[in-house]
């Protein structure tokens, strides 16, 4: 975790959802821009919806920490549904829009972590 002053309002929200967000969101020590205890760099500002519980989490580790079930990936036939939350502006993106956005929010231009590409298959039923 970090000692940056802009992330001092962290909260742990299992099993209830975090009411600071416009979507149902859970996680471990989530800040106002969806950074969590596991990923908290300036570009870690997305949360992803897991279809198994229809809830958003900042990362797969948060899902593992606050649920008692295995995660499900978003199926390809749901890639046009709202699935990714930009923690910077609150806009929800489809999987398709997120995968095509060049690591920045198409609404507010906030940078997204390019390293997340390495584990996108944990969230989405993508072909490698």
User: Tens digit of pLDDT for each residue in 72-111?
Assistant: 999 999 999 999 999 999 999 999 999 999 999 999 999 9
pLDDT at 55 over 70: yes
Which class for 32: exposed (0-12), middle (13-18), buried (19 or more C-beta within 10 A)? middle
Residue 39 falls within a domain, yes or no?
A: yes
Among 75, 76, 53, 57, CA closest to 65: 57
Integer-rounded Cα radius of gyration of the chain: 13
pLDDT at 12 over 90: no
Q: What pTM did the predictor assign?
A: 0.86
Residue 128 falls within a domain, yes or no?
A: no
Amino acid 15: pLDDT: 57
Residue 111 falls within a domain, yes or no?
A: yes
Task: Tell me the per-residue pLDDT of 16-45, one tens digit each, with 9 for 90 and over.
Answer: 788 899 999 999 999 999 999 999 999 999
The domain in which residue 14 lies consists of 5-122
CB atoms within 10 A of CB 5: 6
Calculate ∠ Cα 24-19-74, nearest 5°: 15
- Total domains in the fold of the chain: 1
Residue 127 falls within a domain, yes or no?
A: no
Residue 74 falls within a domain, yes or no?
A: yes
């Amino acid at each position: 975790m970090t000692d940056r002053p802009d992330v001092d309002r962290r909260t742990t929200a299992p099993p209830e959802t975090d009411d600071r967000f416009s979507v149902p969101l859970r996680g471990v020590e989530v800040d106002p821009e969806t950074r969590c205890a596991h990923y908290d760099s300036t570009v870690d500002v997305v949360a992803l919806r897991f279809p198994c519980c229809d809830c958003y989490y900042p990362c797969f580790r948060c899902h593992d920490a606050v649920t008692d079930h295995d995660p499900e990936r978003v199926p390809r036939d749901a890639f046009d549904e709202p699935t990714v939350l930009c923690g910077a502006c609150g806009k929800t993106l489809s999987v398709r829009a997120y995968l095509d956005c060049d690591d920045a929010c198409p609404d507010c231009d906030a940078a997204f972590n390019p390293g997340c590409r390495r584990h996108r298959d944990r969230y989405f039923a993508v072909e490698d």
